[in-house]
Structure formats: structure tokens, C-alpha cells
Amino acid sequence: MAPVLAPAKVLVTGASGFIAAWVCKTLLDHGYHVVGTGEQDSYDTISFSIRHRLPKLFEKDGHGKDKFSFVIVEDIEMNGAFDQAVIGVDAVQHMASPFHFKADDPQELIGPAVSGTIGVLESIKKNAPGVKRVVITSSVASIIHDKSSEIFDETDWNVTSPNEVEQKGKGASAIHKYRASKVLAERAAWKFLEDNKGSVAFDLVTVCPPMVWGPIIHDVKSVDALNTSIAGFHAHTLPGKTEQQLLIPSGNWVDVRDVALVHVLSLSNKDAAGERFITSSGPFTYQDALDALHRADISLTDVPKGTPGKGKDVLGIIYSSAKAEKVFGMKFKTIDETAPATFKALKDRGF
């Protein structure tokens, strides 16, 4: 399938989210027209963000109502939730999926993740024959699994978490519940494409980020409402963490602006079709983030120093971004760029 170039119209599901808001902005900055979806929620945070905050933000960047519009969906798990939203678009960026570790029943995460993914693909099949490419936000949660090597790439699939959830149900760990939701949703998308080869015209790309930091541009009313990755960053800039806590290998990280750019380039690059892409700047401890903040020229009242330099001695797993670097020419931001930008955005909101 041919790539989707600007000024094509792109649907972004879950557009009021942290990453999705940046995807909308990056698409607009690259000349695309964007339709964002948000869930109906009695005009609370999600619908307020997509109805008011994001349009005003994009208008300041020169992207008016002719470039950005929105559709409210009642419930992404409902049959046909996206039937109207997909009409007339050329591509879809599907990003609406829960990310938290609070679920008791694994289906609280797996249901929306899988149903939302299959639902939007079914809606495209039924109502949007002009869609040429679908990009789905997956996660390195769909990649990590038990193996001897500490380096993971796009050929890896998480078989560990679905097995854990199948065997233990509610007794599975919170991290496995979340990871199972991501890998099952991504697997379902690839299976849908295989099962519908002769009846759909679009191809598929999945983007797999780790922990995502960077400036927040969506609506957040309180610290308690911060998304999981930014909440973790914020918590570790406050006093009270022990040296041991700051030096725990915490996975990999990436800047939200790089994740958004890969989503956009996945539309315009013909070689992206049918591929998975890890987007990672590398492994980290929160000590590394504190070190980056204290190297920056910013005010750091009450931000702890921890044990400077100690994070470099900690070995962590690596999610390889070699494919994204090769296909898209990506040069991922450094922690010295992203940590201060994240901190400043939080302070600007009064957090």
C-alpha cells in the first residue's frame, strides 16, 4: 500500500491523551488534517481537553478548525463506536488504550485494549474503504518476555504475561495484567489484518515505546490525574526516595516528541508498512534523571540529588531502536534534553 502523505486526513483515537495530543500536534505541524476522538465523560477532563484545550493550543500554532476537528465516542468497547469517526479519513492512528497498574480483574485492561483495537479496524473495514494505513500505539510491554538475553528487538513477543494472566487471573501481578493487555491487543490487530487480507485495503504499523517522558500539552487538572509515566517521573523529583529506590533499573525511556514523530513518519514512509518499531532512548534509573536535572540550567528547589553518577553503574535491559533509526533516520533525544523539559512542563502547571 502507498504511504499516506500530507495534507491527508488522519483520525487519532484517544486524542486527549499524553502521547496522542503530541501525535495530533506533530501531524498538524507536518501538514496533515486531523480528526481526534475523545470518550463521552460528562464534559470532564477528556472531553474538555479535546473540545477546548487542544483546539486552542493548535490554533496558536496556526492550525484552525479547518485543520483540527473532533468526534466524541461514547465507549470504545461498544460495537461500532468508531463507525462515524472513520468516515472520510485516509489513515488512522489508534492510541486509545488504558495504561495503569490498578486493575483487579485483568479484563479491566484487556477488554478495552483488545475491543477498542478490533472495533476501530472493523469500523474501517465497514465504513472507510479509503483508509490506506493504520498505525497502532503498542508498547515494549508487548515485546519483553523471559529470555536469557538482555537485548530485545521487534522480533520478540511477550508470551510470558498472557500465560501469567491465564494461569492466575486476578492473582497475576499488576505489571503482567497491563503487559498482557498490550500484547493481546497488538496480536489481535495483526491477526485481523491476516484474516481480512482480501477485504481490507489498508496496511498496518505498530509503534512500541517504553516509559514516555516529555512536556505535557494535554489537559491535566491535578497531580493525581497525571498519566502513569509522568506521574512516576514527578514522584522521583520529590524528597523521600532512598538511594536504593533511585538506583532500581526502571526499564527504558523515550521522549514523547520522538514517539509522536515516529507515528507521523510511519504514515509517510513506504518502508514502514507491515512493521513494528521500538522507540527507545535507552535504559535508565531515576538517579540518571536527577543527574540530568542538576546538570541543567533550571531552578531546582527541593529536588533531591540522590547519589550523583551512581546510575551509570546499573545494568538494565535494552530495547533496540535500530530499526527506527535506520528506516526513519531517527536520532532520539538524550536524557539531558528530556528530563529538564519534563520537569519544566510540570512546574509550569504548578505540580
Q: C-alpha angle 232/38/3, rounded to 5°? A: 90
What does the alpha-carbon distance between residue 75 and residue 174 come to, in Å, rounded to a whole number? 24
C-alpha cell at 134: 493504520
Do residues 339 and 289 lie in contact, with contact meaning Cβ atoms separated by under 8 Å?
yes
Do residues 16 and 36 lie in contact, with contact meaning Cβ atoms separated by under 8 Å?
yes
Q: Is position 182 annotated as part of the catalytic site?
A: yes
Helix (H) or strand (E) holding 323: helix 322-328
Do residues 124 and 104 lie in contact, with contact meaning Cβ atoms separated by under 8 Å?
no
Do residues 111 and 97 lie in contact, with contact meaning Cβ atoms separated by under 8 Å?
no
Half-sphere exposure of 212 (CA within 13 A, CB side): 26
Look up cell 515485546; give the residue: 143
Residue 55 DSSP code: H
Among candidate residues 182, 241, 323, 333, the one labeled active-site is: 182
Q: Which residues are catalytic?
A: 182
